[in-house]
Amino acid sequence: MSRQNDLEIEVLFDAPREEVFRNWTDPDRIRTWFAPDGFEVTSCSVEAHSGGEWQVTYRAAHGAECTEYGEFRTVDEPERLIFTLTQIEGGRTVLVSLVTVTFTSVGSGTRMNFHQTGFDTPGQHDDFQRGWGECFRKLAGSLERSKPGASHAETPKADAIGTVESEIRALLEAWAAAVRRHDMPAILAFHTRDIVMFDLPPPLQARGLDEYKKTWDLFFQYHKVSQAFDIEELSVVASDGVGFAFGLMRCGASPDPGGFLFRVTIGLRQSEGEWRVVHEHHSLPAVNG
């Protein structure tokens, strides 16, 4: 495997490296950050020694669940961790990788260097880069709240609204990732049975999951696995169990691997705590002639 798809991230934390290291090995602390936006850790077990096993499961409000697990190769406190990481999503192995994390004191803070191997495609690399970036922002927040004298007041309602929007963003990012993988069961799982779709090519509208699926059967004749299907701009509004999202996406369908931008509008509703897409509309501007 080429190293060109290896993932490298460097982050500076305003906390001692012993504290940052502990957030990778203490299950209670891992629960506060080891999941991308819109997901919550539901179980975590860690045996932080060479040969020890670890496992984290996290779940989204819309029902998607991921499990990551592996074995520690090196636990050199507080300087370095090396461990294997296998990700399972929807009962399918998505990634088998090796992760190395080093911690370097920089004044009173810590420089963390993260390196992960095992990505098959640039698209998979980019998906994990976004996910880890969201996790590390949560880790920074967790470290800030753990400082002496930090406020532990109840989260204000405005943050709750932000969480709902994050859940919808996470759902749509997961949907886009499923399209890039051509994972039809995962694509359909994000939608209601009465989904109504307005797409770029005919028909004028597709009603229900069966007709919605046919729009992707056509699309996948031109779009290859791992080509772009990326959210470039997204605005989300949600209230009282109803959500609305609109923005721009990039599609890398053949014959132009660089892709083109199109508009997307998505309506969602929440039922029993889970968000589902009820309407999807893709469009391009009209061109004269």
pLDDT class of 287 with cuts at 50, 70, 90: confident
Per-residue pLDDT for 121 more than 50?
A: yes
The pLDDT of residue 289 is: 53
In this predicted structure, the answer to whether residue 56 has a pLDDT above a threshold of 70 is yes
Banded model confidence at residue 243, pLDDT cuts 50, 70, 90: very high
52 in helix, strand or coil?
Answer: coil
Is the pLDDT assigned to residue 85 strictly greater than 90? Answer: yes
pLDDT at 255 over 80: no
- Residue 3: the pLDDT is 63
> Position 73: which residue type?
R
Residue 257, pLDDT above cutoff 70 = no
Q: What is the mean pLDDT of the chain?
A: 87
Question: For residue 159, is pLDDT > 50?
Answer: no
Residue-wise burial string across 133-142, b where 16 or more C-beta atoms lie within 10 A, e elsewhere: ebbbeebbeb
Higher-confidence position of 208 and 158: 208
The residue type at 15: A
* pLDDT at residue 4 tops 70: no
pLDDT for res 1: 38
pLDDT of residue 149: 62
pLDDT at 163: 63
Long-range contacts of 80-84, Cβ-Cβ distance < 8 Å, separation of 24 or more:
81/21, 81/24, 81/25, 83/54
Structure confidence at residue 158 (pLDDT): 34
Q: Is the pLDDT of residue 161 over 80?
A: no
Residue 156 has pLDDT above 90, yes or no: no
pTM above 0.85, yes or no: no
Whether 172 shows a pLDDT value over 60: the answer reads yes
Place of tokens 């891992």: 30
Q: How confident is the model at residue 258 (pLDDT cuts 50, 70, 90)?
A: low
**Taking residues 109-125, what's their average pLDDT?**
90
Beta carbons within 10 angstroms of residue 2's beta carbon:
6
Which is more confident, 247 or 168? 247
Greater confidence (270 vs 63) lies with 270
pLDDT interval class at 22 (50, 70, 90): very high
What the chain holds in terms of domains, given with CATH numbers, is: 3-145 (3.30.530.20), 158-283 (3.10.450.50)
Percent share of the chain, pLDDT over 70: 90
List C-alpha distances in Å: 64 to 71, 203, 276, 282: 24, 30, 11, 24
Amino acid at the residue 247? G
pLDDT tens digits along 177-233: 889 888 888 899 889 999 999 998 888 899 999 999 999 998 998 888 888 888 888
Phi and psi of 150, rounded to 5°? -70, 150
